[in-house]
Amino acid sequence: MEPFVFRQCVNILKATGRKANSLRRMRNEIALVSDESIYHHAYHYFLKEHLMEYTNDFAHWAGESLEERALAEQLSNIDPYDFKSIIDLRKEFLNVIDRYLERFPEPREVIAGDEFYFNETITIIYPAGVWVKNLAEFLMVLKYINAGSIYFHFYEARIRLGSGIDDFSQWISHSAGKKELAERIRSIDLFMHNIEEIREYIAGVIEEDLKEEMEFTGSGK
Amino acid sequence: MIEQYAAMASRGDILLLQRLGERLSGRSFLHINSTFAGGGVAEILNRMVPIFKELGINTRWEVIEGDAPFFDITKKIHNALQGNAENITDDMWQYYIETNRKNVSRIEPGADAVLIHDPQPLPLIEQKNSGKWIWRCHIDMSNPAKFVFDYLKQFCVKFDAAIFSVSKFSRAIGINEFIIAPSIDPLSEKNRDLTDDEIRATLEKYQIPADRPVILQVSRFDRFKDPIGVIKAFRFVKKYNNSILILAGSPATDDPEGEAVLNEVREYAGNDPDIYILMLPPFSDREINALQSIATVILQKSVKEGFGLTVSEAMWKGKPVIGGAAGGIPIQISHGVTGFLVHSIEGAAFRIRQILNNPEMARWMGEKAREHVRQNFLITRQVRDYLAVWYYLENKGKNILEM
């Protein structure tokens, strides 16, 4: 079996110098900022500690600072993993905001200090110093590995590999030969869980699978 | 030393620190600021320099020397960058630049990486002929006096990068700008685990009863920290919950208003036996630690704030913190997860009652708070980030770096 090498990533925030204090300004900036900035604000939300109220930074700002709840809900409904490129994802954010601006009166500006700051990240990827060669070992490491490693393999991989598939289920399917288990892991609704809940869920289904396998072997079947 | 931190910091941070250390080992790293003692910058450098050295990086820490007029000028510059109206004349600017020039031969500002802290040594950038130069601005520059910032910009643009603590403190300078939060040291007197005897000694010293929940705010007596607002919130709470309030602060020599605010606070508290106003002597780190350790809920009800690291200090003690949504406080408190953000006195009172009445919620919130600090606000993370910026500058243009 091909071993699974755990890696992890760390993001260092880099300012773009661009900011928005109103929805229209936000819209215009989303049209102009770098792909890296759209990427950061759309995909890195889950690395931050939040109540699961929104799914990206734009929605969070619309809800908390602009206090436009409907807009926040609509922005939260955008699944960044549905898009093959940042260009398309950027268009979708703009469409949602444009539609909102057509239908509703223009929201007030945010109070000073609540502006949206557009950032990018520098990502450093490095080995987590651990590799495993079977599912039982995988489970053991998964329970304790840094959240940054789960983020890298479970969220970031979908973009990196371009296939929308995470590293964990890929390895479980191909190397551990457990297609059904891989499917169960792929069926998780990413947006309804934070990283710790994802860890717990994956560990749970693997544990179940291993237990079933042991019972099966133990019963002599 | 790193071993000691490894016992409590994020394992991922320690791993990356070591990797970055391997890449930068044997290189030279120079830090320059304006004081060896006093203030958060000196405090953190005292702890950071040995870590850099242990990683094999040839680290030097130099301090620029100046006379009283120089520091008067730099204080004005500092205040102006924080938004105060200050008058800085051409002669003052010349004195500021000249004093920096006089420091050149003693400091020898050359290294593979040079980190200039705050505006006092900023003109030393004129000595740059090699290496990566980074300006670390610890100040809230969200609303600087324009003419002062415009003048300093001539120096800023010559750096390879600038680092700010919070996005909203940054300015569009046109160079690489990073957002790196400050950090606390878990091994320091202010943050280490205290023994029961040490905690008891503090309670006895200040005659604090241990029979009721304690609501605490640790801060200078400064209107921006809203101590009167805290007392007002406490009065709402007292109608429902038998508890005590402690307002603890130290005198700040550079704050002429401190005395007046303290008197206002004392007067407002009147002779309420449940309100303890403690003026702690300077360097009362252990006492502050003890008070935070026994508190049920900790407030930082600032209406204007820099980064507000006292929030992380309190969270590190496993306490739910109620903070004003100002400065860097929202970066530390994730509302409803690691504490509560409030926007009014009434909001503060409501959240205090909520925590006092839900010990189970307070417990898990405190646990989450400590974990959040462990992952994001310990010194090892800040060392990691500084080295990452240096490494990035040497691999210019790559937003993704594999190590």
Minimal-distance CA residue of chain B relative to A123: B400
Average pLDDT over chain A reads 91
- Give the strand pairing for B28-33 and B113-117: parallel
Q: How far apart are CA B111 and CA B231, in angstroms?
A: 51
Query: Which of B167, B338, B364 is the best mutation test for A, with the most CBs of A within 10 A?
Result: B167
Q: How far apart are CA A37 and CA A42, in angstroms?
A: 8
Residue B254, pLDDT score: 58
How many contacts does A have with B, using Cβ atoms within 8 A? 92
- Residue A162 clears pLDDT 90, i.e. is over it: no
Helices (H) and strands (E) in chain B, counts: 15, 13
Query: What is the third-level CATH fold of B2-183+378-394?
Result: Rossmann fold (3.40.50)
- Tell me which chain A residues have a C-beta less than 8 angstroms from the C-beta of B15: 8, 126-129
Q: How far apart are CA B369 and CA B311, in angstroms?
A: 10
- Residue A11 clears pLDDT 90, i.e. is over it: yes
- Residue A200 clears pLDDT 60, i.e. is over it: yes
Q: Which residues of A129-165 are buried (b: 16+ CB within 10 A; e: fewer)?
A: bbebeebeebbeebeebbbbbbbbbbbbbbbeeeeee
Q: How far is CA B289 from CA B207, B292, B295, B329, in A?
A: 16, 5, 10, 19
The string of pLDDT tens digits covering residues B17-73 is 999 999 999 999 999 999 887 677 888 899 999 999 999 999 999 999 999 999 999
Banded pLDDT at A174 (limits 50, 70, 90): very high
- Tell me which chain B residues have a C-beta less than 8 angstroms from the C-beta of A123: 399-401
Domain with CATH 3.40.50.2000 in chain B: 2-183+378-394, 196-376
Answer yes or no: do B399 and A120 touch at CB < 8 A: yes
Structure tokens at B277: 């106003």
The dihedral sign for the CA sequence A206, A210, A215, A221: positive
The string of pLDDT tens digits covering residues B337-385 is 999 999 999 999 999 999 999 999 999 999 999 999 999 999 999 999 9
Structure tokens at A196: 């710790």
Structure tokens at B134: 């980074």
Q: What architecture (CATH level 2) is domain B196-376?
A: 3-Layer(aba) Sandwich (3.40)
Residue, of B218 and A219, whose pLDDT is higher: B218
- Tell me which chain B residues have a C-beta less than 8 angstroms from the C-beta of A146: 10-12
Residue type at B317 in one-letter notation = K
**For residue A209, which of A144, A135, A152 has the smallest C-alpha distance?**
A135
Angle (CA) B72-B76-B81 rounded to 5° is 150
Q: How far apart are CA B246 and CA B368, in angstroms?
A: 24
Residue A1, pLDDT score: 81
**For residue A189, which of A4, A52, A71, A9 has the smallest C-alpha distance?**
A52
**Phi, psi (deg, nearest 5) at residue B365:** -65, -40
Residue A50, pLDDT score: 62
Answer yes or no: do B384 and A10 touch at CB < 8 A: yes
Residue B263, pLDDT score: 93
Q: How far apart are CA B372 and CA B375, in angstroms?
A: 5
Q: How far is CA A139 from CA A3, A133, A158, B62, B374, in A?
A: 13, 11, 21, 49, 24
Q: Give every residue of chain B whose pLDDT is below 70, as ranges.
A: 38, 252-256, 397
- Give the strand pairing for B176-179 and B132-136: unpaired
- Residue A218 clears pLDDT 70, i.e. is over it: no
